[in-house]
Amino acid sequence: MTKRFGDTVALDDVSFEIPQGEFVIVLGVSGSGKSTLLRCMNALETPTEGEIRVGDDPVTSPRDDIAMIFQQHNIIDQMTAYSNALTGSLNRNSFIGSLLQLQDESDKLQALEALNTVGLLDEAQQSAKRMSGGQQQRVGIARALVQDPTILLADEPVASLDPGSSQQVMGYLRTAARKRDLTAVISLHQVNLARKFGERFTGLRDGQKVFDGYRDEFDMDVIDQIYGDIDTEGMFAADPDEATEASGGSTDDASSKRASSGGMAK
Ligand SMILES: Nc1ncnc2c1ncn2[C@@H]1O[C@H](COP(=O)(O)OP(=O)(O)OP(=O)(O)O)[C@@H](O)[C@H]1O
């Protein structure tokens, strides 16, 4: 796929295939094309050349089976966590019906299950405006889950959060994707978080794919390829698996097997 905006080549002949259920992190400096890639995958942008396919279906317009989580979680402040989550069923209900919470029991149950998945069941009746940024982003994830997607896209979902909340949100995203066998594609700026939670990594530079591989290949040379020669001291945690313990998620067996052990700072 290639995407041009006038003279700017935002994506330059980028191609890859993701098997169902993989958790992919997209990395790259500002302007490398991460958002454009995700927006094309959700048909919010149209590729100039090439196409996105889900199975054999070209993605030509936004679809219910592809949910998107944004940096600004776009949840409604005045509503409770539960009501916000329930709006994820809008595709199955009318807007007014949704606001009046006229959804059927299965939608309501799904909203509660989704809040449970992101660790917010006890806060279901809490007004969103009283929640922290991290909690609000988790409500955003719950809402995306209620949409009942098979593919979850997230464009810098933790960009505005502190490090602790970022880890939590990434942990819940990872858990939700694993529990529901969702294919997830998430753009991140934080290499350490990518390393802790990612299963597969795609690196973009000037719109070109400069890396696409799994944990055992994702080393400091790859970081250099993606970001140039930056100071990477302490960038990778000593034990990637410990990240999810406290945050409600865990890396799955496959990625744990692929994970190389030990610190990788150079
Ligand atoms: N709607 C648009 N119109 C014109 N140029 C655009 C548009 N969207 C993106 N671009 C350009 O395409 C290139 C890739 O932008 P993109 O937002 O995809 O990068 P990014 O890696 O997501 O950056 P960031 O990390 O800052 O969000 C940039 O040069 C950007 O200026």
Q: Where are the domains of the chain?
A: 1-13+42-62, 64-184
pLDDT of residue 229: 67
Task: Compute the distance from residue 189 Cα to the ligand 1 centre, in Å.
Answer: 14
Pocket test residue of 7, 9, 25, 36 for ligand 1, highest count of atoms within 8 A of CB: 36
Q: Which residue, 174, 196, 202, 180, is CA-closest to 242?
A: 196
Closest-lying ligand 1 atom to the alpha carbon of residue 207: 14
Q: For position 67, what pLDDT does the model report?
A: 94
Instruction: Judge if ipTM > 0.90.
Output: yes
Which of the residues in the chain have pLDDT under 50?
238-266
DSSP class of 6: T
As a whole number of angstroms, the distance between CA 164 and CA 1 comes to 36
Chain segment 185-226, per-residue pLDDT in tens: 999 999 999 999 999 999 999 999 999 999 999 998 999 999
pLDDT reported for residue 89: 83
Ligand 1 contact, 32 CB (< 6 A)? yes
Q: Strands across the sheet with 66-69, in order? A: 66-69, 151-155, 183-187, 23-27, 200-205, 208-214
- What CATH number matches the domain at 64-184, 3.40.140.10, 3.40.50.300, 1.20.1250.20, 3.40.1350.10? 3.40.50.300
Q: What is the pLDDT of residue 56?
A: 92
- Predicted confidence at residue 160, as pLDDT, reads 85
